[in-house]
A and B are shown apart, each in its own frame.
Chain A
Amino acid sequence: EVQLVESGGGLVKPGGSLRLSCTASGFTFTNAWMSWVRQAPGKGLEWVGRIKSRYDGGTTDYAAPVRGRFSLSRDDSKKTMSLQMNSLKTEDTGIYYCVRGEFSGYDWGDYWGHGTLVTVSS
């Protein structure tokens, strides 16, 4: 059974940092490109960024609002993806979902985690 489990959310002051993790199971994590999608309270969905598989270069892409402040990494040995969030702003508040993205033979977004809540507030 495919599972994505996020962790690391919490309350942080503006300007602070937080590190989110996503632990995967039930599929060959090494081959998957992984994304984060966030949702501000009562708002819609916003793609945050993605990291490609190491085979495909392990490169990262980010949405403009987080570029330069957020950084994605992965540890295939632990089947984990991390999102380092720095210089946090109040508008970064929301639920952050880990999403299985491009994965040969499967559909983008076919598996999502339950999400982890990030609250940026003084």
Chain B
Amino acid sequence: DIVLTQTPHSLSVAPGQPASISCKSSQSLLHRDGKTYLHWFLQKPGQSPLLIISEVSSRLSGVPDRLSGSGSGTDFTLKNSRVEAEDGGIYYCMQTLHLPFTFGQGTKLEIK
């Protein structure tokens, strides 16, 4: 199985400050079709996960542009250029290249 390792496990950031989450995969997530099947979800307390970034860097409609995804192969990063109160929650990376699909263990973002 592909293992996704997220760091840090948690972070506390003041509003207006940047934040960054790393997701490292045990195998390359690059498919022969040229796409990389690594996605990011945000889960707020009591809510279902929400897809925010698809295929490494494609922001979903309505996701603020202060959030961005980057990376390739096995190393990926989710960056928030200016954290706001609404950004708090648990962020998960997920791969859908190989079965079984797997998630990272999650990174909890606390807004100070």
Interface residues, chain A, with chain B CB atoms under 8 Å away:
35, 37, 44-47, 50, 61-64, 97, 101-102, 107-110, 112-115
Contacts and interface: CB of A to CB of B under 8 A. Distances in A.
A15 B24 CA distance: 37
A62 B90 CA distance: 25
A63 B60 CA distance: 27
B101 A35 contact: yes
A112 B42 CA distance: 12
Contacts of A102: 96
Given A45-B94, A45-B103, A108-B39, A113 B51 contact: no
Contact of B54 (A35, A64, A101, A107): A107
A113 to B, nearest CB: 7
23 contacts: A44-B90, A44-B104, A45-B41, A45-B94, A45-B103, A45-B106, A47-B101, A47-B102, A50-B101, A61-B100, A62-B100, A63-B100, A64-B100, A101-B96, A107-B51, A107-B58, A108-B39, A109-B49, A109-B96, A112-B48, A112-B49, A112-B50, A113-B48
Nearest to A95: B48
Contacts, number: 59
A103 to B, nearest CB: 12
B103 A115 contact: no
Given A44-B92, A45-B94, A108-B96, A97 B49 contact: yes
Nearest to A67: B100
Interface string B96-111: 1001111111100000
A35 B39 CA distance: 15
